[in-house]
Amino acid sequence: MYDPTVARLTYRALLGRRRALILCALPVLLIAISALVRGLTGADDQIAADVLGGFALATMVPIIGVIAGTGAIGPEIDDGSVVYLLAKPIKRPTIIFTKLIVAIAVTMVFSAVPTLIAGLILNGNGQQIAVAYTIAALVASIAYAALFLLLGTITRHAVVFGLVYALVWEALFGSLVAGARTLSVQQWSLAVAHKVAGGDLITSDVGLPLATVLLAGVTVLATWYAGQKLRTLKLAGEE
């Protein structure tokens, strides 16, 4: 199911110079903001939860997910170089699964790790807030990577759709329409964070059992469907 060569190529493509810079920008910003807030207000659990929930989990994790998830396959399909993977006796779902693992790993490294560091800076993991949001970021990384990898497989405009989902659907509709929050990776991962932290600093609109089922379901379905799409991928840009 996992091909080390496909993984190596995907890592090299994802962590190329320019993309790596983009991937670093938001984590650096998060840590800078955290240091600034800590310096101005001192350790405060509510502020720590606000920064991690409002910026790290709501904005940074999905955007890193978009960059890593769509970037793991989109550019290859766009420029046609994916043909060198497809013209091999390797099952297409294996290619997708491998790319998913890479996308998850990259999303985790560039979102969960800075979330933990930011949390430690903000309030030294008081009330388990840093750990709770880190686990939420880890969980969300899996679902986002799967979702955006699928987008990267089925559309050339994956980045746009990904950002629209991450920013407009989750952030905007989520705050306006209660129902939209049930269908939000962010809320599902918050349910996990709520369980870890306990108390009322972190809340979710979705219960943990439902959140777990939805997280697993979305990840599996998206990965399966991407595998199917890749089996019948028609290379664009031909006559």
Partner 1 sequence: MTTINIDHVSRWFGNVVAVNDITMTISPGVTGLLGPNGAGKSTLINMMGGFLAPSNGTVTLDGEPIWRNEQVYRHIGIVPEREAMYDFLTGREFVVANAELQGLGTHEAQKALATVEMEYAQDRKISTYSKGMRQRVKMASALVHEPSVLLLDEPFNGMDPRQRMQLMDLLRRMGAEGRTVLFSSHILEEVEQLASHIEVIVAGRHAAGGDFRKIRRLMTDRPHRYLIRSSDDRALAAVLIADPSTAGIEVDLKEGALRVQAVDFGRFTTLLPQVAKAHGIRLLTVSPSDESLESVFSYLVAA
Site for partner 1, rule CB under 8 A: 3-6, 8-9, 12-13, 16, 79-81, 83-92, 231-235, 237-239
Cβ-based burial of 109 (10 A; exposed 0-12, middle 13-18, buried ≥19)? middle
| Shortest Cβ 15–partner 1 spacing (Å) | 10
Q: Report how far residue 236's alpha carbon sits from residue 43's, in angstroms, rounded to the nearest whole number.
A: 53
Q: Which is nearer to partner 1, 5 or 46 (CB)?
A: 5
Q: Which is nearer to partner 1, 90 or 196 (CB)?
A: 90
| Shortest Cβ 16–partner 1 spacing (Å) | 5
Quickly tell me which residue has 């969960």 as its tokens: 112
Q: Which is nearer to partner 1, 17 or 176 (CB)?
A: 17
Q: Report how far residue 196's alpha carbon sits from residue 135's, in angstroms, rounded to the nearest whole number.
A: 8
Locate 87 and state its tokens.
């013209």
| Shortest Cβ 101–partner 1 spacing (Å) | 17
CB 145 within 8 A of CB 107: yes
| Shortest Cβ 22–partner 1 spacing (Å) | 16
User: Helix, strand or coil for residue 43?
Assistant: coil
Q: Which is nearer to partner 1, 92 or 195 (CB)?
A: 92
Cβ-Cβ contacts under 8 Å for 128 (sequence gap 6 or more): 196, 197, 198
| Shortest Cβ 88–partner 1 spacing (Å) | 4
Q: Which is nearer to partner 1, 200 or 239 (CB)?
A: 239
| Shortest Cβ 1–partner 1 spacing (Å) | 14
Locate 75 and state its tokens.
């550019």
Give the single-character DSSP code of 235.
Answer: P
Q: Which is nearer to partner 1, 14 or 191 (CB)?
A: 14
Query: How far out from the chain centre does Cα 47 lie?
Result: 23
